[in-house]
């Protein structure tokens, strides 16, 4: 009797203290879209949303179920408000596929985070990269101060509430263009999902098929924000996405596809804890036939109503697929390349194409490692009119409205260039800069020294007319070859020296140890 009273009072006490109210929601959806060149875009979207009311202001949160604990702890421990991590392999073809469903398509790994302003923010950023590195089995710990930047115009916080915007938060950005992405990164990513890959849409995440594609990208976007002044209400959000561009034409020369063929798996209903679980098919071609038929294309297939198996199949009534020659020109596209020759100096050029009928503001962001010394006074702007083909050297102020430039410091920070550009209607704008290449110390070269160094993508951020969200255009990564010492030289010297010594030693040793004796010829005794 007495013990049960104690237990009851303990339970009551604990309950009173933790009168935390949490509302959690998990949505999963898959969007499948046939691209104009016959490829199939698969976009997996898993979102977890937690809304917590905690009577203690600013208290850390421990009471949630669906939201992965590791991510929640990382956000709270390092005071991260917002975090975006993307792993990408391959190249998104803006010219043929239009704009991607997810903004980030820079090859390699990209990480940016909005963190609370404090004196420890750089240590927190370092801890964050190291933790994520362990969590996702990637070399994120190589994002150190020599490649971390703090962009001012690009990568704005997505948090819409004005309350959050007024708070002082700081941005950190880093990317690793050389990182290759594989199953070892996908497995920890899948582990963050409430149903893992056991049920629901995630069942289709078959690594063999997903990586056998033209483009592959997976990301996590996490957010932890206070929804009111004293921080008694906190919202945490996690969005995990996976984008693949699969190629059904490669195997059958037809663009027909089915889940079974593309992923080698079929669906068996929704993840039990999901509030919404849907498969959307985006199809503008009326010749295509979908089975099983879809009553409401906007709502898609509801997996909560699937109790058996679901295989979706799309067929065209054509014998073979003819590739359209006309690309789908996007409104803004960009290319970046190196100019010049030799190992001493070079140039960087970026061309931005605006196909809109009106002038369009865009933000250009570029971060160049310290071993390329940019000269800002060589910056030139050339505008080519699309209609007349006329080339014009413009005053910088006509095109560049605003500029943030951070010069590099050797071995401690990169060059960062951020420009607010106003692109004239129907034009191609080219920015060019010259640089010198630095002669590195021999220990600073990679083991595969002659491969060169990767330079991460430049990023254009723009708000397209008639669209409410911003888009980002990533250029290709670049490979630069710096003056490389002949690393085989010491080996050559050693072998040559050793040969000489061996020859010398051999003959001297021979001379010293050989005993010479005079052999007398015996006279014949007659």
Residues near ligand NAG (CB under 6 A):
27, 29, 31, 45, 47, 101, 117, 168, 170, 466-468
Closest-by-Cβ residue to ligand NAG is 168
Phi-psi bin for 361: left (phi > 0), alpha (psi -120 to 50), beta? beta
Q: Which is nearer to ligand NAG, 168 or 513 (CB)?
A: 168
> If you write DSSP's letter for every residue of 63-77 in order, what string do you get?
--SSS-HHHHHHHHH
Q: How far is the CB of 226 from ligand NAG (least distance, A)?
A: 16
Residues 192, 238: Cα–Cα separation, whole Å: 10
Q: How far is the CB of 168 from ligand NAG (least distance, A)?
A: 3
Q: Which is nearer to ligand NAG, 466 or 488 (CB)?
A: 466
Residue 420 token pair? 């607010």
Q: Which is nearer to ligand NAG, 243 or 475 (CB)?
A: 243
Inter-residue contact 379 to 433 (CB < 8 Å): yes
CA-based nearest residue to 321, from 263, 244, 251 = 251
Q: How far is the CB of 253 from ligand NAG (least distance, A)?
A: 30
- CB neighbour list of residue 276: distance below 8 Å, 6 or more residues apart: 27, 28, 29
- Tokens 């992923």 map to which residue? 263
Q: What are phi and psi of 409, to 5 degrees?
A: -120, 130
For residue 436, give Cα distances in angstroms to 373, 379, 415. Answer: 5, 14, 13
Q: How far is the CB of 21 from ligand NAG (least distance, A)?
A: 22
Q: How far is the CB of 152 from ligand NAG (least distance, A)?
A: 10
Q: Which is nearer to ligand NAG, 45 or 154 (CB)?
A: 45
Q: How far is the CB of 117 from ligand NAG (least distance, A)?
A: 4
Q: Which is nearer to ligand NAG, 170 or 438 (CB)?
A: 170
Residue 70 token pair? 């590791």
Phi-psi bin for 90: left (phi > 0), alpha (psi -120 to 50), beta? left
Q: Which is nearer to ligand NAG, 120 or 451 (CB)?
A: 120
Q: How far is the CB of 10 from ligand NAG (least distance, A)?
A: 40
Q: Which is nearer to ligand NAG, 54 or 219 (CB)?
A: 219
> If you write DSSP's letter for every residue of 263-318 in order, what string do you get?
HS--B-S--TT-SEEEEEEE---TT-EEES--S-TTT-EEGGG--S-B--EEE-S-
Residues 96, 245: Cα–Cα separation, whole Å: 12
Q: Which is nearer to ligand NAG, 112 or 371 (CB)?
A: 112
Q: How far is the CB of 175 from ligand NAG (least distance, A)?
A: 22
């Amino acid at each position: 009797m007495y013990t049960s009273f104690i237990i009851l009072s303990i339970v009551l006490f604990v309950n009173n203290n933790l009168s935390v109210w949490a509302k959690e929601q998990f949505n999963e959806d898959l969007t499948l879209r046939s691209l104009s060149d016959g490829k199939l875009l698969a976009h997996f979207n898993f979102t977890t949303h937690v809304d917590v009311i905690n009577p203690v202001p600013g208290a850390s949160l421990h009471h949630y179920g669906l939201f992965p604990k590791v991510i929640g702890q990382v956000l709270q421990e390092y005071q991260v408000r917002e975090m975006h991590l993307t792993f990408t392999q391959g190249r998104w073809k803006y010219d043929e596929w239009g704009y991607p469903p997810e903004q980030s398509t820079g090859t390699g790994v990209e990480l940016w985070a909005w963190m609370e302003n404090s004196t420890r923010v750089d240590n927190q950023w370092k801890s964050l990269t190291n933790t994520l590195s362990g969590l996702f089995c990637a070399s994120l710990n190589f994002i150190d101060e020599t490649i971390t930047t703090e962009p001012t115009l690009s990568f704005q916080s997505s948090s819409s509430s004005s309350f959050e915007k007024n708070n002082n938060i700081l941005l950190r950005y880093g990317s690793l263009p050389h990182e290759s992405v594989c199953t070892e990164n996908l497995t920890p990513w899948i582990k963050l999902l409430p149903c893992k890959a056991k049920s629901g849409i995630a069942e289709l995440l078959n690594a063999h098929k997903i990586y056998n594609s033209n483009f592959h990208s997976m990301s996590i976007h996490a957010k932890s924000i206070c929804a009111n002044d004293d921080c008694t209400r906190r919202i945490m959000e996690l969005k995990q996405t996976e984008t693949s561009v699969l190629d059904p034409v490669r195997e059958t020369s037809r663009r027909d596809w089915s889940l079974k063929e593309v992923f080698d798996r079929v669906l068996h209903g929704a993840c039990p804890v999901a509030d919404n679980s849907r498969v959307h098919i985006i199809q503008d071609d009326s010749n295509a036939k979908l089975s099983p038929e879809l009553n409401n294309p906007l709502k898609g297939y509801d997996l909560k109503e699937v109790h058996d198996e679901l295989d979706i199949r799309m067929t065209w009534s054509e014998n073979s697929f003819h590739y359209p020659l006309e690309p789908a020109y996007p409104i803004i596209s960009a290319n970046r390349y190196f100019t010049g020759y030799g190992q001493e100096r070079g140039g960087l050029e970026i061309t931005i194409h605006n196909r809109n009928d009106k002038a369009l503001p865009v933000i250009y962001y570029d971060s160049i490692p310290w071993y390329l010394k940019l000269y800002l006074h060589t910056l030139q702007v050339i505008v080519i009119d699309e209609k007349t083909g006329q080339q014009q050297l413009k005053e910088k102020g006509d095109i560049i409205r605003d500029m943030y430039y951070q010069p590099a410091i050797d071995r401690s920070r990169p060059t960062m260039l951020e420009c607010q550009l106003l692109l004239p209607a129907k034009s191609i704008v080219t920015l060019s800069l010259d640089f010198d290449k630095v002669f590195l110390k021999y220990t600073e070269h990679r083991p595969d020294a002659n491969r060169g160094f990767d330079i991460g993508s430049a990023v254009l951020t723009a708000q397209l007319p008639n669209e409410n969200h911003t888009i980002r255009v990533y250029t290709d990564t670049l490979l630069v070859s710096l003056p490389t010492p002949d690393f085989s030289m010491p080996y050559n010297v050693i072998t040559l020296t050793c040969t000489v010594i061996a020859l010398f030693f051999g003959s001297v040793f021979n001379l010293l140890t050989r005993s010479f004796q005079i052999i007398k010829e015996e006279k014949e005794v007659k």
